[in-house]
Structure 1
Amino acid sequence: MSYIKPADFVQTMIDAGEAKTKTSTADLILRGTMAGIILSLAVVVAITAIVQTGIGLVGALVFPVGFCILSLMGYDLVTGAFGLAPLAKLDNRAGVTWSSIFRCWGLIGLGNLIGSLIVAYLATVSLTMNFSIDPNAVAQKFIAVSTARTVGFENLGMDGWITCFVRAILCNLMVCLGVIGGMTSRTVAGKVVAMWFPIFIFFALVFEHTVVNMFLFPLGMILGADFGIATWLNFNLIPTILGNIVGGLVFTAIPLYLTHKKNSAAVNAKVETQATNESFTEAALNAK
Structure 2
Amino acid sequence: MADEEKNQAKEQDVTSNGKVDRPSRQFYIPSQIIDEFGEKGRDHLSKPFSGQFLLAMTAGSFMTFGAVFSVLLAVGVETKGIYHLLSGLGFAAGYAMVFVSGAVLFTEINVLLPSYLFNKANLMKKSIYRFWYATYIGNIIGAFLVAVLIQISGSLAPEFYSELSMYLDHKMKFLDHGVKGWFQVLVSGILANWLIGMAAFLTTAARDFTGKVLGTILPVVLFVAGNFQHSAANMGYFSMGILASDQYTWYEYVFLNLIPASIGNLIGGGILVSLLFSYAYKEDIQTSLGQGKRKKKKANQ
The TM-score bracket by the shorter chain reads 0.7 to 0.9
Q: Which residue of 2 aligns with 1:278?
A: none
Aligned equivalent of 1:33, options 39, 57, 60: 57
Question: Following TM superposition, by how much is the alpha carbon of 1:167 offset from its aligned partner in structure 2, in angstroms?
Answer: 1.0
The separation in 2 between residues aligned to 1:189 and 1:83, in whole angstroms, is 22
1:1-288 paired onto structure 2 within 5 Å: 1-54=25-78, 55-92=83-120, 96-97=123-124, 99-127=126-154, 136-150=158-172, 152-264=173-285, 268-270=294-296
Query: Structure 1 residues 14 and 4, CA, compared in 2 at 3 Å: closer, same or farther?
Result: same
Higher helix share: 1
Question: Following TM superposition, by how much is the alpha carbon of 1:102 offset from its aligned partner in structure 2, in angstroms?
Answer: 1.4
Per mean C-alpha deviation after superposition, the further-off stretch among 181-190 and 247-256 is 181-190
Query: Structure 1 residues 117 and 268, CA, compared in 2 at 3 Å: closer, same or farther?
Result: same
SS in 1 for 2:31: helix
Query: 1:159-181 CA distances to partner (integer Å, 9 max, x unpaired)?
Result: 21111111111000011111122
SS in 2 for 1:182: helix
Alpha-carbon contact 2:37-2:111 (below 8 Å) kept: no
The separation in 2 between residues aligned to 1:92 and 1:104, in whole angstroms, is 17
Runs of 4+ in 1 over 6 A off after TM superposition: none
Question: Following TM superposition, by how much is the alpha carbon of 1:246 offset from its aligned partner in structure 2, in angstroms?
Answer: 0.6
TM-score normalised according to structure 1 size = 0.85
Amino acid paired to 1:43: A
Query: Structure 1 residues 98 and 180, CA, compared in 2 at 3 Å: closer, same or farther?
Result: farther
Amino acid paired to 1:45: F
Alpha-carbon contact 2:84-2:224 (below 8 Å) kept: no
Q: Structure 1: which 5+ runs fail to align?
A: 130-134, 275-288
Question: Following TM superposition, by how much is the alpha carbon of 1:216 offset from its aligned partner in structure 2, in angstroms?
Answer: 1.3
Query: 1:145-190 CA distances to partner (integer Å, 9 max, x unpaired)?
Result: 224433x322210121111111111000011111122211221122
Query: Structure 1 residues 155 and 57, CA, compared in 2 at 3 Å: closer, same or farther?
Result: same
In the alignment of these two chains, the number of paired residues is 266
Amino acid paired to 1:240: A
Pairwise CA RMSD: 2.2
Amino acid paired to 2:56: G
Amino acid paired to 2:262: I
The separation in 2 between residues aligned to 1:146 and 1:119, in whole angstroms, is 18
Amino acid paired to 2:270: L
Identity %: 22
SS in 1 for 2:295: helix
Alpha-carbon contact 1:11-1:261 (below 8 Å) kept: no
Query: 1:65-124 CA distances to partner (integer Å, 9 max, x unpaired)?
Result: 221122111111110111221222221257x42523211211111221111001211222
